[in-house]
Every structure is written in structure tokens, then in C-alpha cells.
């Protein structure tokens, strides 16, 4: 057979495939750090055609990335990122009108009556509170006080399982007009705990001298972090309540106290029942010596008919012997239908869960404020027959 030699002066083009190295497992044409590219040849028509490098299927090196995945440098990643898609942590956000709220907001109203010299504080609601305990919820309540009246404060009812409580409660403080510029309204929001110390959620300090109180104001205020307002150390008392409607047995178990002044000696607790704002029955625990955290664990039972349970006030008072060697009340707690805040909530829980003891800690209130709120009247001594 005759071999074709092509046009005169030209010889046919021959493509030589690269030989596979007997030592290297990579096909020829692979360089260090660069993938293999198949060789190309030019057809007689002038077009490029791709020639397969070898007949075996191509196996990708497991140490190499696929060609369609391109590594992106830090510069390109930074240029394609928008700041509004990144949400910073809550603790690093500065309070500003357009940013997220860190500790929540509080809506309240203020009204001052110059005739009666009273300021009326209306607690409306709070939103976006920050839960600090386990879980994503809290049992918040508010505590309102004035800087010039440390012993007088108002507590709202606790709202279970919410970070957006609606209070709708109003309290009044008597304050002369001359003291308004030096007075600061303090509102503390706390998480109610039954067996541990209440956890602060946020605080608000509002100087009354910087507010125009000639008109009724209703504004939203940003809450600050907890701890900016110094809490009053008046001591706390823990006790349980149990009521059986059928027999009318009201059982009070005085458990313990804490946070009392170290200078007090032999503290004890008086438990007193009042009926229709008059002293009715009373009992007391034994004294504990040389301790600011006395443990009592003593139970008292009173017979209160179900028809009178709404007319009864329960007063627990911590007494101790002070520096003058005289017994004096340290602080008091009032529970009943006329109470407010945590004591009212404790009383309502006792009635809602009949026959089951309900235990809770309570902060002690100044004795004089409690007596004024109850308007205590002396017990009437009726003449006995034959006297």
C-alpha cells in the first residue's frame, strides 16, 4: 500500500501523547501545585480540538480542590458583607434611638397635684425585658420609690411567664413642691423568685426637677442595667401559707430571715391577725441569739371562717433587741386583700391553691409605713358581765 504524504512539501501532523512516568503516579503534564491540562492540536481546518490525555478515567487528587470552587480572599469577603445583616450581641449594643433595646422599655405617667402635694405615678407596661435566669421568660414586677423617702415604696403584682408585662397600677407619694428639684423617682423591675433572691431586670432613675409636672405626662423610658440604684437592706423573711376552706384553718409557718442588721440581738417574729382593721389574734416565735440569719421553722394555726377570709389582714413583724436593750420592730410584712405587690400575690396564690402550702420570701417594710397603711386601731376592751 502507498502511504499518503499530503500536499507536496507538507507532512501529516502527528500528536504525541505524553508518556506516563513509571515512578510518579500522576499523569504526565502535572506540575507541582498545578492541575493537569490536556494537550491540544490543530486540525487541518484550523480549529482546535481537545485530545484525551489517557484512556483511563480521570481521578481527582483528594488533596486538591475542584476547579469550580475558587478560594475567596479576606478582602473580597469583606467587600461583599453588609453591616445590617450582622446582629451584634445584646451586651455590646449601645442604647440609641434606632438600635435594639438592651434592658427593655417602661411606659409610665406622672401627675403632680399641688393642692394635695402628691405625685401620682402610673405604671402602664414594660416591653422587651431581658430574662437573666434559666429559660427565656420571667415573672416581672415593679418597685417604685423616691430618693427622699427611702422607707416608702410601692410594689406591683408579679406577672407570670412574660417579658412584656402590663401593670396598669397607680401609686401616690406625698412630697412638698420645695423637695421636687432634689427628688429622683426610682423604678426597679425584678424577677420574682419563690425560694431565692429576686433577680433585678432593669432600673430607671428619673430626676423630677428636670420634668415639667404642670401637665400630665405619659412617656416611654429606656431602662438601665440593674445595679445602678442601691437596694435598701431592710432584711427579708421567708414563710409559707396554707388555708383549708372547709375547716377554716389558716396555717403560717415561719421559716427563716436574712439580711438583718448585725447589731440586732435575739430576733423573733410576731404573727398577728387583724379583722376589719382591728387587732384580733397574735402569736410569736422563740428568739434566736447572736445571728443576722435566724432559722425558726415554727408553725401557727388560726381559725378563720371562709366568710371572713377576705376581711382578714395577716401581719408578720420581725422584732429584736437593739442597742438600747429594748425590743423594737425591725420590719413588717402585710398580706391580705388590702396588700399590694408580692404580698398580695402570695395571698392570692394561697387562696387559689387551697390545702397546699405556698412558700415565698418577702422584703421587710418599715414598721411606721405599715402601721400608717393599715391605720391600726387599738383593740376595744368591752366590759365583762359582773364587772
> Of 109, 182, 177, 174, whose CA–CA distance to 147 is shortest?
182
β-bridge mates for residue 123, sequence order: 108, 169
> Of 382, 355, 381, 377, whose CA–CA distance to 275 is shortest?
377
Phi/psi-derived region of residue 342, left when phi > 0, alpha when psi is between -120 and 50, beta in every other case: alpha
Can you give the pLDDT at residue 335?
94
* pLDDT (tens digit per residue) in 92-114: 333 444 444 478 999 999 999 98
Question: 376595744: which residue's cell?
Answer: 380
Quick one: cell of 180?
A: 421636687
Q: 3-class SS at 91? A: helix
Q: How many CB atoms lie within 10 A of CB 25?
A: 9
Can you give the pLDDT at residue 380?
41
Residue ranges of the chain with pLDDT lower than 50?
Answer: 1-2, 9-10, 23-34, 36, 38-55, 65, 68-101, 228-231, 377-387
Can you give the pLDDT at residue 197?
67
Amino acid at each position: 500500500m502507498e502511504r499518503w504524504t499530503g500536499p507536496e512539501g507538507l507532512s501529516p501532523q502527528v500528536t504525541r501523547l505524553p508518556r506516563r512516568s513509571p515512578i510518579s503516579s500522576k499523569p504526565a503534564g502535572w506540575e507541582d501545585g498545578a492541575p493537569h491540562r490536556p494537550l491540544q492540536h490543530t486540525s487541518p481546518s484550523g480549529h482546535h480540538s481537545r485530545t484525551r490525555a489517557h484512556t483511563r478515567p480521570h481521578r481527582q487528587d483528594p488533596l486538591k480542590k475542584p476547579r469550580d470552587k475558587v478560594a475567596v480572599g479576606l478582602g473580597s469577603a469583606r467587600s461583599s458583607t453588609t453591616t445590617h445583616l450582622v446582629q451584634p450581641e445584646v451586651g455590646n449594643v449601645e442604647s440609641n434611638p434606632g438600635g435594639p433595646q438592651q434592658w427593655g422599655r417602661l411606659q409610665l405617667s406622672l401627675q403632680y397635684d399641688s393642692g394635695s402635694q402628691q405625685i401620682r405615678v402610673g405604671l402602664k407596661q414594660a416591653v422587651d425585658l431581658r430574662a437573666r435566669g434559666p429559660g427565656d421568660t420571667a415573672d416581672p414586677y415593679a418597685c417604685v420609690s423616691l430618693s427622699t423617702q427611702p422607707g416608702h415604696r410601692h410594689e406591683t403584682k408579679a406577672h407570670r411567664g412574660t417579658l412584656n408585662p402590663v401593670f396598669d397600677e397607680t401609686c401616690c407619694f406625698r412630697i412638698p413642691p420645695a423637695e421636687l428639684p432634689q427628688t429622683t423617682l426610682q423604678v426597679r423591675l425584678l424577677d420574682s423568685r419563690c425560694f431565692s433572691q429576686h433577680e433585678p431586670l432593669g432600673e430607671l432613675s428619673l430626676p423630677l426637677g428636670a420634668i415639667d409636672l404642670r401637665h400630665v405626662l405619659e412617656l416611654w423610658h429606656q431602662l438601665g442595667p440593674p445595679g445602678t440604684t442601691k437596694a435598701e437592706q431592710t432584711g427579708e423573711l421567708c414563710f409559707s401559707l396554707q388555708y383549708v376552706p372547709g375547716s377554716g384553718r389558716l396555717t403560717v409557718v415561719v421559716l427563716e430571715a436574712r439580711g438583718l442588721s448585725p447589731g440586732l440581738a435575739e430576733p423573733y417574729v410576731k404573727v398577728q391577725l387583724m379583722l376589719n382593721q382591728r387587732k384580733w389574734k397574735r402569736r410569736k416565735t422563740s428568739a434566736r441569739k447572736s445571728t443576722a440569719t435566724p432559722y425558726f421553722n415554727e408553725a401557727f394555726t388560726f381559725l378563720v371562717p371562709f366568710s371572713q377570709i377576705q376581711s382578714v389582714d395577716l401581719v408578720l413583724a420581725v422584732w429584736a433587741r437593739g442597742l438600747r436593750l429594748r425590743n423594737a420592730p425591725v420590719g413588717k410584712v402585710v398580706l391580705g386583700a388590702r396588700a399590694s405587690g408580692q404580698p398580695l400575690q402570695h395571698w392570692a396564690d394561697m387562696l387559689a391553691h387551697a390545702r397546699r402550702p405556698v412558700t415565698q420570701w418577702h422584703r421587710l417594710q418599715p414598721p411606721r409605713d405599715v402601721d400608717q397603711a393599715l391605720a391600726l386601731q387599738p383593740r376595744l376592751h368591752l366590759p365583762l358581765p359582773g364587772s
